[in-house]
Amino acid sequence: MKVMIVVTHLLGTGHLTRALTLGRAFANAGDQVVLVSGGVPVGHLDFDGVELVQLPPLKSDGVDFSRVLTAEGVVADAAYLEARQGALLDTFADSRPDLLITELFPFGRRILRAEFTALLLAAQTGKVPVLSSIRDILAPPSKPAKAAMAEALITTFYSGVLVHSVAEIAALELSWPVSDALRKRLYYTGFVAPSAPEVHPDGIGVGEVLVSAGGGSVGDHLFDAALGAAALDHGRRWRLLVGGSAARVADLRARAPENCTVDAARPDFRQMLRGAAVSVSMCGYNTALDVLQTGVRAVFVPFDAGDEVEQGLRADALAVQAGIAVLRAGDLTAQGLVDALRSVEGAGPRAPLVDGVDGAAETVRIARRIVEDRHAG
């Protein structure tokens, strides 16, 4: 089977990371995978096993998702967006997939509706089944019309919606209105995560406070507070893993106290978590799963700029577990962070999550069944 996955990450890298994990699962099952990325290229991800097609890239204007920029920071004009759409449709025609998966759309990425709709029409014409791939918590629709539009597109074009969650932990209803008609199209896959990491072979991160903010350029407030907290907590090692530009890393490194190491984002982050004393991070999908899979004590500082609520909803759902604390961005100070660390260190141990994290493999099983049923019909 040939599978085409289409994803555009606009701010962080979580959407692309999750799509890549799905792509690897299909490839490991013997399928051919074409991963079409419409976001800015990400250097630290490994695309072995999948064919990567890069569209003319887009990114958000910070946390303003009402317009999109080119990689150079210029507002994407009609000609640029038409070139993207043309490249996307050409890739679909050349690939001739047996299955199309759109990551997040139509529950998000509405600003790219034109290119996605053109792609869906091409799939419909070619009788290619389509699935939507969404995380556990979505950005709730600000107007009923947005939910209605998504449901209309699902009804018209899609064979189903892959919800990468465990319903008992985070059901879609936490963040999105689920009608009876939509519920019939939902397939809960479990969480999509790589295999649980081993302890770092070189012992890097063991006993440290590990501070991260994903692979993108967000998290300045978190890193600034962490530098102050490290200065107050001088009896232990801190480590910041920083995405974005080299200049950003250098600036934080220049301001770090002696007990704090500042590294660029690195691919062995998950292995480092296994031995860390505490993880301090935002609460994106992938990072939250890393915390759950490793059992590390954690302080979540949910990203809430631009009225974002997704991470706050996820953090609140997870905070009932031992060794997890939530510190709102508006309450984040150096001393507050140190206090939160001490609170989770005083909690009992939390066993690593082992059930419900094979969502990538379950996605492959569900997708194959849908394609087979389509051909049988």
Assess whether pLDDT exceeds 80 at residue 298.
yes
Q: Work out the mean pLDDT of the chain and round it to a whole number.
A: 93
Helices (H) and strands (E) in the chain, counts: 12, 14
Percent of the chain with pLDDT over 90: 78
366 Cβ neighbours under 8 A, 6+ residues apart? 160, 162, 187, 189
CATH class of 2-194+357-376: alpha beta
Instruction: Delimit the domains of the chain by residue range.
Output: 2-194+357-376, 209-345
Residue 170 pLDDT level (bands cut at 50, 70, 90): confident
- Rounded to an integer, what distance in angstroms lies between the CA atom of residue 304 and that of residue 316? 13
Dihedral over Cα of 285, 287, 290, 295: its sign: negative
Residue for token pair 């999109």: 68
Q: Which of 38-52, 73-87, 331-345 has the lowest mean pLDDT?
A: 38-52
State yes or no: pLDDT of 215 exceeds 70.
no
Range with lowest mean pLDDT among 277-281, 321-325, 345-349: 345-349
Average pLDDT over residues 322-342: 95
Taking residue 139's Cβ as centre, other Cβ atoms within 10 Å add up to: 18
Percent of the chain with pLDDT over 70: 99
Q: What is the pLDDT of residue 272?
A: 96
pLDDT beyond 90 at 238 = yes
- Amino acid identity of residue 253, one-letter, is R
Considering the four listed CATH numbers 1.10.3720.10, 3.40.50.2000, 3.20.20.410, 2.30.110.10, the one that applies to the domain covering 209-345 is 3.40.50.2000
pLDDT class of 65 with cuts at 50, 70, 90: confident
pLDDT in tens, 1-11: 999 999 999 98
Give the single-character DSSP code of 217. S
Residue 245 to residues 60, 74, 252, 283: CA-CA distances in angstroms?
Answer: 16, 18, 11, 22
| Separation CA 26–CA 14 (nearest Å) | 19
